[in-house]
Structure 1
Amino acid sequence: MSLSGRYRLNILDKPLSRGKGEVSLTCFALLFAEIVQYCQNKSQTVPELQIRLHELGRKVGLKLIDLYFVRERSGKRETKLLSILLFVKSTFWKALFGKEADKLEHSNDDENTYYLMEKEPLVNKYISVPRDKSSLNCAVFVAGIVEAVLTGTGFPAKVTAHWHKGTTYMVKFEESVVTRDKQLEER
Structure 2
Amino acid sequence: MSSITISAIRPRTSILDKSLSKGKGEVSLSCFALLFSELVQYCQNRVYTVPELQNKLAEIGAEVGHRITDLLVVREKGGKREIKLLNVLLFIKSTVWKSLFGREADKLEHANDDERTYYIIEKESLVNKFVSVPKDKGSLNCASFVAGIVEAVLCDCGFPAKVTAHWHKGTTYMVKFDDAVVARDKQLEDR
TM-score, normalised with respect to structure 1: 0.91
| Partner Cα distance (1:172, 1:114) in 2 | 7
CA contact (8 A) 1:115 1:169 kept: yes
Pair 1:124-2:128 in alignment: yes
Aligned counterpart for 1:82 among listed residues 79, 83, 86 = 86
Residue 67 of structure 1 is matched in structure 2 by 71
Pair 1:41-2:37 in alignment: no
Q: Per-residue deviation at 1:12? A: 4.5
Aligned counterpart for 1:166 among listed residues 154, 170, 183 = 170
1:27-64 deviations in Å (ceiling 9; x for gaps): 11110000000000001111110010010001110011
When the two chains are superposed, the root-mean-square deviation of aligned CA atoms in Å is: 1.9
| Partner Cα distance (1:28, 1:10) in 2 | 24
Q: Residue 77 of structure 2 aligns to a residue in which SS?
A: coil
| Partner Cα distance (1:140, 1:78) in 2 | 24
| Partner Cα distance (2:105, 2:42) in 1 | 27
- Count of matched residue positions in the alignment of Structure 1 and Structure 2: 183
| Partner Cα distance (2:119, 2:125) in 1 | 15
Q: Per-residue deviation at 1:13? A: 3.7
Residue 29 of structure 2 is matched in structure 1 by 25
Which shifted more, 161-170 or 14-23? 14-23
Unpaired stretches in structure 1, ≥5 consecutive residues: 1-5
TM-score, normalised with respect to structure 2: 0.89
Residue 56 of structure 2 is matched in structure 1 by 52
Q: Residue 79 of structure 1 aligns to a residue in which SS?
A: coil
Residue 179 of structure 1 is matched in structure 2 by 183
Q: Residue 117 of structure 1 aligns to a residue in which SS?
A: strand
| Partner Cα distance (1:16, 1:46) in 2 | 35
Q: Per-residue deviation at 1:11? A: 5.3
Residue 91 of structure 1 is matched in structure 2 by 95
Q: Per-residue deviation at 1:19? A: 5.9
Residue 154 of structure 1 is matched in structure 2 by 158
Residue 141 of structure 2 is matched in structure 1 by 137
How many percent identity over aligned positions?
72
Q: Per-residue deviation at 1:18? A: 4.5
Q: Which has the larger radius of gyration?
A: 2
CA contact (8 A) 1:159 1:170 kept: yes
| Partner Cα distance (1:40, 1:31) in 2 | 14
Q: Residue 178 of structure 1 aligns to a residue in which SS?
A: helix
| Partner Cα distance (1:127, 1:68) in 2 | 28
Q: Per-residue deviation at 1:14? A: 2.9
Change (3 A) 1:68 1:30: same
Q: Residue 55 of structure 2 aligns to a residue in which SS?
A: helix
